[in-house]
Structure 1
Amino acid sequence: MVGRPLPSSRDEDMYRVNLATHPDLDSIQPWLGARTYHFHERCWQLALRVLGPRIKEEPDLGLFLLSLRRGGRLHRIIAARFEEAAPLMLEYREWFRAVRKRQGRSLRQLRKSPQDYRSYVCSMVQLVHGRARLPDLPAAVVYGEDDPWNNIDVRDLIDEAVRRRQQQQRESASRREGGGRCRQRRSTSPSPTMLVRMPMDLQMLVVDHLHEPRDILALGLAFRWRLPETYWRARFPKHLVFEYAALHAVELDWEYLCLGAEKLIATQKLWRREWVLGCLEEVRLAFEELWGQRGQHRDGDGDYIM
């Protein structure tokens, strides 16, 4: 429900499947010996990003599923209102069946396309949200269509940052070639840098206290401050714009990219991603807690008690 499959795997490898097999599978009943858990690829990548590689150390992922139930914000919201929401879901069950029948697709077929299934489930959540007044569901989650893994605004921002750096490099090369023939006249007016001469570390401290991109740009224009690339790399919101990991060797305008990312956050362009990562962080805390107590949550057959 969170994301879409990669374009190259839309018709095949639709789900990330983790299969745990019993060492003596042939001698026991199949429904007791093997279990599979279906995850959309990008949902799984988001979970791995927040929970870390330890999640793969649990062979049947039972502890992870238990963490989803105990640490999931959305699960708690729906569970808290289940008595109020359940009659509505039953009331409109036939209506949703009619919708699927009109589309000529069963619920199982809808699940094969994360995008279609998400739209279907969002319509259900929207109905319950409007009638049952479920709390703490941001509008971007209920009504939005943004993909938290593959955000178009972030991609466009990165592309523009790369284009700007290439343009800067071309202009710099052009100035070097024509430097001997064309000299700019020096201005006799006092330069702002003569009025405000701050060490670089103090400039960084000042900019650290500014949170509006337009204020930072105005300050740099007024005082002609030019902070180094290392500052913008350190300031970049890596926790939310995780595309940073793939940009370490890319030539781009880091000041533009950093301020643009902060603007996306300020204008709520990344609401869905922020909300999903927040939910997964709660799951991570529950997972870490249960990991140290994992022996206490199994029944006599070794299964996790949900």
Structure 2
Amino acid sequence: MGLWLPVLFHPSKPISRLSGISYFIDRDHDFYTLQVPWDEHTGIIRSKNRDIGHDNKHLLATALRDEVHDEPHPDRLRGLVVHDRCWQVLRRHGIWQRSGGDIDQIMRALLSRTARDWEKSPLIPSRLELNEHWRNPTGMEESDPLHSRYVQYLIGRARRRTHRRFKVIQNRQRTYLNSLPGEVLFLVADLLQSPEIVAVQEAIGTYLGDAYWRSRIPMDFFHELRELAGQTMDWEFLCLELDKYNIEMPVEVDDYPGPFNQLLGRKWVLEQLDEIEHFVS
């Protein structure tokens, strides 16, 4: 089970609504309709007993599940069920801005891209089939490509290491780097690998700052950090550890350490969104 967002839309009218988060569980797969709150101001909890009706049915919107193959009534709402974490990533991807947040445009772009590639490649690349989580996806966090327990673990460690950000560097030596303007120093640092920047900091006895280390982390890829940008933590440590985590994948996935396998699915999902974005008109 997991968190899902029901998206309601009309097949012929410019009506589209995003419901509040609902808890989508296995038995709901038998439903051909969605019973969801009509707007963000109303919360409805459906009873486990299906025979018990709602006292406030007028507060609910009923929509035919879009997975149903029968052609719906032309004047009836339809519904899509979207994984909550996938929805958040979609909202932050360039495809959202390019489409103006128009779900219809995104769906048409997806269909166009699929039509182009249908004869060329399978839906899932062969390299992902090597990953056991992708062989039998269960919907649990362990197989969710947009969730990484290891990233959450690193975030927790970075928070606990906050006091180490401004540690005093012993035996500071005077070098030519000390006389460089800050702007030039940052330009030089941008050309270096993260461990080399740490060595430069130790040489000049200066911490380049949270903002700089945060800027070196690819937020589009590690989307978990977007909401944490204003928080105080050891961003240097986090950047160094994520650099190790986000290294190039080997050809043989089975030879790779388990935690790093989680990034394969994430990379693939973002690559697909990049491709689909080109089809948004």
From 266, 271, 279, the equivalent of 1:273 is 266
| Larger helix proportion of the pair | 1
2:7 matched residue in structure 1: 17
- The structure-2 alpha-carbon separation of the partners of 1:196 and 1:19, relative to structure 1 and needing over 3 Å to count, comes to closer
Q: For 1:223 and 1:30, locate their aligned partners in 2 and report how far apart those are by CA, in whole Å.
A: 69
Kindly state the Cα deviation for residue 33 of structure 1 after the two structures are TM-superposed: 2.7
Kindly state the Cα deviation for residue 161 of structure 1 after the two structures are TM-superposed: 0.9
2:192 matched residue in structure 1: 210
2:164 matched residue in structure 1: 168
1:48 aligns with 2:48: no
2:226 matched residue in structure 1: 245
Aligned-residue identity in percent: 26
1:63 matched residue in structure 2: 105
Q: What are the within-5 Å matches in structure 2 for residues 58-137 of structure 1?
A: 58=102, 61-71=103-113, 79-81=119-121
Contact 1:192 1:223 in 2 (8 A): yes
What is the total number of aligned residue pairs between the two structures?
Answer: 202
Q: For 1:246 and 1:147, locate their aligned partners in 2 and report how far apart those are by CA, in whole Å.
A: 19
Greater RCO structure (CA 8 Å; 6+ sep): 1
Q: What are the within-5 Å matches in structure 2 for residues 147-158 of structure 1?
A: 147-158=144-155
- The structure-2 alpha-carbon separation of the partners of 1:206 and 1:53, relative to structure 1 and needing over 3 Å to count, comes to closer
1:39 aligns with 2:82: yes
1:259 aligns with 2:256: no
- The structure-2 alpha-carbon separation of the partners of 1:139 and 1:209, relative to structure 1 and needing over 3 Å to count, comes to farther
Q: Which amino acid aligns with 1:151?
A: S
Contact 1:17 1:37 in 2 (8 A): yes
1:221 matched residue in structure 2: 202
Q: For 2:269 and 2:143, locate their aligned partners in 1 and report how far apart those are by CA, in whole Å.
A: 12
Q: Which amino acid aligns with 2:240?
A: L
Q: For 1:79 and 1:263, locate their aligned partners in 2 and report how far apart those are by CA, in whole Å.
A: 37
- The structure-2 alpha-carbon separation of the partners of 1:225 and 1:20, relative to structure 1 and needing over 3 Å to count, comes to same
Q: For 2:275 and 2:98, locate their aligned partners in 1 and report how far apart those are by CA, in whole Å.
A: 16
Q: For 2:200 and 2:175, locate their aligned partners in 1 and report how far apart those are by CA, in whole Å.
A: 15
The 4+ residue runs of structure 1 with deviation greater than 6 A are none
Secondary structure at 1:192 match in 2: coil
- The structure-2 alpha-carbon separation of the partners of 1:206 and 1:42, relative to structure 1 and needing over 3 Å to count, comes to same
Q: For 1:263 and 1:235, locate their aligned partners in 2 and report how far apart those are by CA, in whole Å.
A: 13
Q: For 2:231 and 2:101, locate their aligned partners in 1 and report how far apart those are by CA, in whole Å.
A: 33
Gaps of 5+ in 1: 7-13, 24-28, 83-120, 126-133, 176-185, 290-306
2:174 matched residue in structure 1: 193
| Larger strand proportion of the pair | 2
1:252-281 per-position Cα deviation (integer Å, ceiling 9, x unaligned): 112122222222212653332222112112
- The structure-2 alpha-carbon separation of the partners of 1:138 and 1:266, relative to structure 1 and needing over 3 Å to count, comes to farther
TM-score by length of 1: 0.53
- The structure-2 alpha-carbon separation of the partners of 1:255 and 1:197, relative to structure 1 and needing over 3 Å to count, comes to same
Q: For 2:238 and 2:221, locate their aligned partners in 1 and report how far apart those are by CA, in whole Å.
A: 13
Q: For 1:235 and 1:257, locate their aligned partners in 2 and report how far apart those are by CA, in whole Å.
A: 10
Q: For 2:74 and 2:242, locate their aligned partners in 1 and report how far apart those are by CA, in whole Å.
A: 48
What CA RMSD, in Å, does the superposition of the two structures yield over aligned residues? 3.7
Contact 1:19 1:36 in 2 (8 A): yes
Q: Which amino acid aligns with 2:158?
A: A
1:92-125 per-position Cα deviation (integer Å, ceiling 9, x unaligned): xxxxxxxxxxxxxxxxxxxxxxxxxxxxx9xxx6
Q: Which amino acid aligns with 1:251?
A: T
Contact 2:219 2:225 in 1 (8 A): yes
Q: For 1:15 and 1:5, locate their aligned partners in 2 and report how far apart those are by CA, in whole Å.
A: 10
Contact 2:214 2:229 in 1 (8 A): no
TM-score by length of 2: 0.57
1:128-171 per-position Cα deviation (integer Å, ceiling 9, x unaligned): xxxxxx66758558569552322212211111111000x438x9
Gaps of 5+ in 2: 14-70, 250-259
